[in-house]
Chain A
Amino acid sequence: MPFGNTHNQLKMKFSSEAEYPDLSKHNNHMAKVLTPAMYERLRSKQTPSGFTLDDVIQTGVDNPGHPFIMTVGCVAGDEETYEVFKELLDPVISDRHGGYKPTDKHKTDLNSNNLKGGDDLDPNYVLSSRVRTGRSIRGFCLPPHCSRGERRAVETLSIEALASLTGDLKGKYYALKNMTDAEQQQLIDDHFLFDKPVSPLLLASGMARDWPDARGIWHNDNKTFLVWVNEEDHLRVISMQKGGNMKEVFNRFCTGLTKIETLFKERGHAFMWNEHLGYVLTCPSNLGTGLRAGVHVKLPNMSKNAKFEEILKRLRLQKRGTGGVDTAAVGGVFDISNADRLGFSEVELVQMVVDGIKLLIEMEKRLEKGQSIDDLMPAQK
């Protein structure tokens, strides 16, 4: 493991105190949870594939965080990480996911028929709709830890599975390392191309090793269903389209995902999932559904309203600029999505987005007419 001290047995010669990281300037979930006693108990353990505690926390040690943004500061290297290092990861998960307990069960619901409405969000306000998630392939280590052979096997399986999709899901795979200039330009124009991570949060965990080997992008001919292979997770799956028909986006999302899962299972490789954590992904923040469903929506009046933040909170939604996380809104257009990932099902989270956006647009229309929105204030969901 190139990020060094992880398999360095000489470190056991040193006391736990001598090895304990200096977290005095740190502000991330890992730093808030880890203690010297916990470190001492976990430092000699490793998962069957050899992932150690130091591997788990390296990114959080190297990236102290930000006074306002609470990063996670730890990653999983394989499915077993969440079990072997539960003493650290359970409290991190609890802090990140609203008090989720080690005994809690997570519900998965990818039946898009259970979504009520969502096909009629006003396109004068809702510019586009999108749902994304991640999936990990059981039997392989995760991006911080996988070898080239494992990563290539994940790619080979993915290409095979995606190649057998038909109908409106029929598409093509573009390997990062040998796409033509024309293909690259098209993917950039479509906003599909992902690049080598530059964020130190990702680099410090080892996810960019061997770039661009075995990384690629697949999308359907209609450009409404997109899969990233071997970026931050084994697979990132995205369904999207212009306008406000979130129901259709979610429908395609569920259908596509379920088909892909079947194809992987046929080849003897299920997705990593358990009834406590739901879908298992590299970052603890993406456990459960790993789902972020959102819209780009025009809310210039709402966004200036004193109660905007409070309303979002009550609706269990979060806002971002249209460039993604940590960008500013442009022209009053916001990216509004579900705040939760774990402890709610996919249908429940998309329902919150659909209902919440509908309400926010109603409020926006009121404010346009100079009317009050006080009677529309929602209760905490």
Chain B
Amino acid sequence: MAKNCHNDYKMKFSVDDEFPDLSLHNNHMAKVLTKDIYAKLRGKSTPSGFTVDDVIQTGVDNPGHPFIMTVGCVAGDEESYEVFKELLDPVISDRHGGYKPTDKHKTDLNFENLKGGDDLDPNYVLSSRVRTGRSIKGFTLPPHNSRGERRGIEKLSIEALASLDGEFKGKYYPLDGMTDAEQEQLIADHFLFDKPVSPLLTCAGMARDWPDARGIWHNENKTFLVWVNEEDHLRVISMQKGGNMKEVFRRFCVGLQKIEEIFKKHNHGFMWNEHLGYILTCPSNLGTGLRGGVHVKLPKLSTHPKFEEILTRLRLQKRGTGGVDTASVGGVFDISNADRLGSSEVEQVQLVVDGVKLMVEMEKKLEKGESIDGMIPAQK
């Protein structure tokens, strides 16, 4: 076990002296952390040397927002979720609807188990998209990894992605070294990611050494995209215009599984366990790490008094088309699954498919001036 000298130095001070001031804070970490928990965890570190102060720094530095509940803690490696379970289990429970330490998470990436989803009305559904993240076993996570580790991940990723063919044949663009023309094209395609500016991310250390070993890969059709070393080791996105979510999900599952096979061959599978599913940097992305969603025109439904209630019952959430925390424009919303942990990929995409189908039907009714009272769904 790597000795953490730094940790020992601050051990000269009492728990009271070292405990963070969380009096103005509103995030999951601040709601869970007590002096007792801090006292128990402060002397520990994971095998790679990640400490409880590392876990919570972003939540200490970013008190949060009265209306938006941020997570306020991150993992630095796979073992963080075990070594600091006393803090992270309650955070996970709060964030993921009461998920218990004894619960098991089910992974299902068999796209054939999805019913329907190929016929969402393209007059309403403008585009469909599924994204997730993956962490490569044997490396520490973005808040903590060294340059050597990050470059190791990039190298493995390039190799894995380069061996894809057919609909998945594509190209890798390292952030450091792309031409101006390449950069312009990636911006025009809305593929380019930039150095994080959110203090939620920078305070956790994820932007260190930028842009070293960061890059974007996409297939020639521009329907399958992978981000390397941004907030997670890999972010995988499948998307296309229109309402054929089934096709988007098929490509997502097939592509992900192909990539996973190649990583496994190099003895670097994805981080996963039967309790937390896929392990990612932020506790909010555990389980499936999946956000499946559509851009859909719902100008009438979105102004209906029961809109929020309907979304809650369908286990969906809305965002503006600019992403999280943006406003909708022209009655077009980004509607996606609210859950990540405790239900499978197929189940979550099914909720989106069924829910959006219902909401489009409701929109059509409202267009004709008819009531939707008989269509209000039960809580899923």
Spell out A's residues near B (CB within 8 Å). Answer: 1-11, 13-15, 18-22, 46, 48-51, 54, 58, 61-62, 141, 145, 147-150, 152-153, 177, 203-204, 208-211, 213
Contacts and interface: CB of A to CB of B under 8 A. Distances in A.
Given A2-B58, A6-B6, A10-B140, 17 more contacts: A2-B53, A2-B204, A4-B144, A8-B48, A10-B2, A11-B147, A14-B146, A19-B147, A22-B176, A50-B8, A62-B208, A62-B210, A147-B18, A148-B10, A149-B13, A153-B17, A209-B60
B149 A10 contact: yes
A20 B49 CA distance: 20
A28 B148 CA distance: 22
A4 B208 contact: yes
B5 A147 contact: no
Nearest to B151: A18
Nearest to B15: A149
A20 B139 CA distance: 18
Interface in B125-167: 139-140, 143-149, 151-152
Nearest to A15: B148
A204 B9 CA distance: 22
Contacts of A203: 202
Contact of A2 (B13, B147, B151, B203): B203
B6 A49 contact: yes
B76 interface: yes
Given A153-B17, A203-B202, A50 B6 contact: yes
B299 interface: no
Contacts of A8: 48-49, 140, 144-146, 149
B269 interface: no
9 contacts: A7-B2, A7-B5, A8-B144, A10-B139, A10-B149, A14-B148, A49-B9, A141-B9, A149-B14
A44 to B, nearest CB: 12
Given A10-B146, A18-B148, A19-B147, A46 B5 contact: yes
The 6 closest A-B pairs by CB, nearest first: A149-B13, A14-B148, A50-B6, A9-B2, A11-B146, A50-B5
Contacts of A61: 208-209
Interface string B4-38: 11111110111001111100000000000000000
B143 A4 contact: yes
B212 interface: yes
B170 interface: no
Q: Which of B8, B9, B60, B209 gathers most chain A CB within 10 Å?
A: B9
Contacts of B203: 2, 209
Contact of A22 (B51, B140, B146, B212): B212
B5 A148 contact: no
Q: Which of A5, A147, A209 has the most chain B CB within a 10 Å cutoff?
A: A5
A209 B57 contact: yes
Given A4-B76, A49-B5, A18 B207 contact: no
Contacts of A51: 6
Contacts of A4: 54, 76, 143-145, 205, 208
Contacts of A1: 6, 53-54
Given A7-B2, A22-B176, A147-B53, A211 B146 contact: no
B285 to A, nearest CB: 19
B89 interface: no
B347 interface: no
Nearest to B206: A4
Nearest to B49: A7
A32 B12 CA distance: 38
A245 B210 CA distance: 48
A79 to B, nearest CB: 13
B121 interface: no
A58 B208 contact: yes
Contacts of B5: 7, 46, 48-50
Given A22-B212, A54-B146, A210 B6 contact: no
Contacts of A147: 9-10, 13, 18, 53
B49 to A, nearest CB: 4
Interface in B207-232: 207-210, 212
Nearest to B45: A7
Contacts of B6: 1, 6-7, 49-51, 145
B61 interface: yes
Given A2-B205, A5-B145, A10-B149, A50 B57 contact: no
Contacts of B151: 18
A344 B9 CA distance: 35
Given A1-B54, A4-B208, A209-B61, A9 B48 contact: yes
A277 to B, nearest CB: 22
Contacts of A22: 176, 209, 212
Contact of B61 (A18, A20, A58, A211): A211
Contacts of A2: 53-54, 57-58, 143, 203-205
